[in-house]
């Protein structure tokens, strides 16, 4: 059953504020963007954002990074047209990593992996486990040593390298067995020192 006292108190509160000027009337209820000065919106936490859009957010990050002497992310600069060369980034090492990424995401790599999987019948060559999380390991010659010996510096060099796409230099392994190999991850540097003469 409804309580009539609640409705009466609400009605009295409405009449009590009738004719009064709201406390925020005529006042600015938003904060300007630090880049362009446009109106900003509230975030999920109820606080106003510093910028009005994603582009202004990137420009603000670049501005703060340059003021503090840091190098802003080059990918953001490419996306939003910020003039900042990638060579000035702190982690730039001459473009080695992008070439590796292009090779791993190239259709020839997917074709090479699928060929090795079908040849090994989707079975790990060390423990005999079939299916599950499988990966292809460059064996007996590791991937990084192939890049070094053939002086691969670009995607065109990798496509023309026959040794890189040789299915006889690959084997199917499960994730657990792959982590135990001497060429997994950063272990390749020790592999070069100890087994370079056997390759």
Q: What is the DSSP string of the chain?
A: ---HHHHHHHHHHHHHSTTPPPTTTTS--SPBPTTT-PBP-B-TTSPBPS-SSHHHHHHHHHHHHHHHTPPPPHHHHHHHT----GGGSTT--SSHHHHHHHHHTSHHHHHHHHHHHHHTTTB-TTT--BSSSEEEEE-SS-HHHHHHHTT--SHHHHHH-TGGG-GGGEEEEEHHHHHTSTTSGGGHHHHHHHHGGG-
Q: pTM (2 decimals)?
A: 0.48
Question: How high is the pLDDT of residue 73?
Answer: 53
What are the residue boundaries of the structural domains of the chain, listed by start?
30-90, 96-198
Quickly tell me which residue has 């009449």 as its tokens: 15
Question: How high is the pLDDT of residue 32?
Answer: 85
Question: How high is the pLDDT of residue 187?
Answer: 63
Q: How confident is the model at residue 194 (pLDDT cuts 50, 70, 90)?
A: low
What pLDDT digit, counting tens, does each position of 91-107 carry?
Answer: 666 666 678 888 888 88
Tokens of 115: 């060929």
Q: For residues 56 and 41, is the Cβ–Cβ distance under 8 A? A: no
Query: What value does the mean pLDDT take over residues 85-94?
Result: 62
Q: For residues 176 and 184, is the Cβ–Cβ distance under 8 A? A: no
Tokens of 144: 């990084």
What pLDDT digit, counting tens, does each position of 129-161 carry?
Answer: 998 899 999 988 888 888 888 988 888 899 999
């Amino acid at each position: 059953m409804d309580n009539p006292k609640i409705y009466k108190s609400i009605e009295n509160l409405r009449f009590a504020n009738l004719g009064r000027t709201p406390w925020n009337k005529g006042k600015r209820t938003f904060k300007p963007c630090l880049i362009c000065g446009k109106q900003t919106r509230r975030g999920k936490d109820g606080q106003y954002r510093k910028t009005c859009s994603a582009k202004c957010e990137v420009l603000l990050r670049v501005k703060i990074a340059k003021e503090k002497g840091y190098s802003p992310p080059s990918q953001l600069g490419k996306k939003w047209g910020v003039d900042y060369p990638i060579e000035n980034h702190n982690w730039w090492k001459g473009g080695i990593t992008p070439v590796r990424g292009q090779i791993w995401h190239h259709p020839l790599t997917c074709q090479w992996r699928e060929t090795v999987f079908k040849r090994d019948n989707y079975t790990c060559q060390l423990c005999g486990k079939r299916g599950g999380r499988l990966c292809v390991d460059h064996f007996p010659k590791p991937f990084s040593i192939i890049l070094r010996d053939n002086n691969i510096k670009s995607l065109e060099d990798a496509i023309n390298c026959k040794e890189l796409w040789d299915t006889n230099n690959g084997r199917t392994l499960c994730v657990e067995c792959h982590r135990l190999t001497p060429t997994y991850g950063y272990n390749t540097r020790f592999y070069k020192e100890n087994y370079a003469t056997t390759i």
